[in-house]
Amino acid sequence: MRLLVVEDEPDLLSSLAEALREDGYAVDEAADGEDGLSKALLCDYDAIVLDVMLPRMSGFAVLERLRVRKKTPVLMLTARTKTPDRVRALDGGADDYLAKPYELPELLARIRALIRRAAGNATAKLKIGDVTVDVAGHIVTQRGEVVALTAREISLIEYLAQHRGRIVTREQLYVHLFDENDTTLSNLLDVHVSNVRKKLGHGFISTHRGLGYCIE
């Protein structure tokens, strides 16, 4: 899953992006509102973490312009905790609102919930035959046994599982699994798909030639 974090405080931006990457996400960063809006409109992110107090364009303004064109799930972060601010954010199109300072586990849980709702999934555990995908724990088990997978392989499985029964194009997978810092993508996707098939069975991910991949 690919996220955009828009935060103007350098240390907080860096630490939050790093924590999200450690949790298995591909993460793009923006340090002001204009850059954040530009990236948000250019890429189909799975969720956006958006600060309210930003230079060049406020988070509220970014959200307003974004909602004209996209329905990307947005979690707003701010030190402004008064009720009118929360109401303005939620009525303006934010999907969730979290006050600073916050606990990282809660932020991660809220992001997972946003992504699940956007994909139409009510539960954090997805059952596919004898395979269970625990989106919250980033754990994949088969017949009750944990399968050793890399973070990128788990992200691939999670994204296909969230869109189960639908063909996902290679372009969509590149967009949602790799961030702006990944420069050598050539055959990485094929390698990850091949590795998942070796570990979970060749039929776990089906190929639709010329179209993309699917978990049936």
Q: Would you list the domain boundaries of the chain?
A: 2-119, 125-214
Conformation bin of residue 152: beta by default, left when phi > 0, alpha when psi is -120 to 50: alpha
Q: Which residues of 204-216 are buried (b: 16+ CB within 10 A; e: fewer)?
A: bbeeeeeebbbbe
In the predicted structure, residue 24 carries a pLDDT above the cut 60: yes
Strands 74-78 and 47-51: parallel
The domain at 125-214 falls in which architecture? Orthogonal Bundle (1.10)
The CATH number given to 2-119 is 3.40.50.2300
Instruction: Report CA Rg, the chain.
Output: 18
From residue 192, alpha-carbon distances to 73, 124, 138, 202 in Å are 27, 23, 16, 13
Single-letter amino acid code for the residue at 1: M
Burial of 183 (0-12, 13-18, 19+ CB in 10 A): exposed
- Assign 185 a pLDDT band (cuts: 50, 70, 90): low
Please give the pLDDT value at position 80. 74
Nearest to 36 by CA among 12, 67, 57, 64: 57
Q: What is the mean pLDDT of the chain?
A: 91
Helix (H) or strand (E) holding 141: strand 139-142
Six-digit token string for 4: 């955009």
Please give the pLDDT value at position 108. 95
User: What would the pLDDT profile of 79-99 be if each residue is shown by its tens digit?
Assistant: 877 788 888 889 999 999 999
Please give the pLDDT value at position 184. 61
In the predicted structure, residue 210 carries a pLDDT above the cut 90: no
Single-letter amino acid code for the residue at 126: L
Q: Which residues touch 120 (CB under 8 Å, ≥6 apart)? A: none
Q: How far apart are CA 196 and CA 213, in angstroms?
A: 12
Nearest to 177 by CA among 152, 160, 204, 197: 152
pTM: 0.86
Nearest to 157 by CA among 49, 147, 17, 37: 147
More confidently predicted of 75 and 176:
75
**Residue 139, Cβ neighbours under 10 Å: how many?**
14
> Is residue 44 a contact partner of residue 175, using CB atoms and an 8 Å limit?
yes
Write the DSSP symbol of residue 94.
-
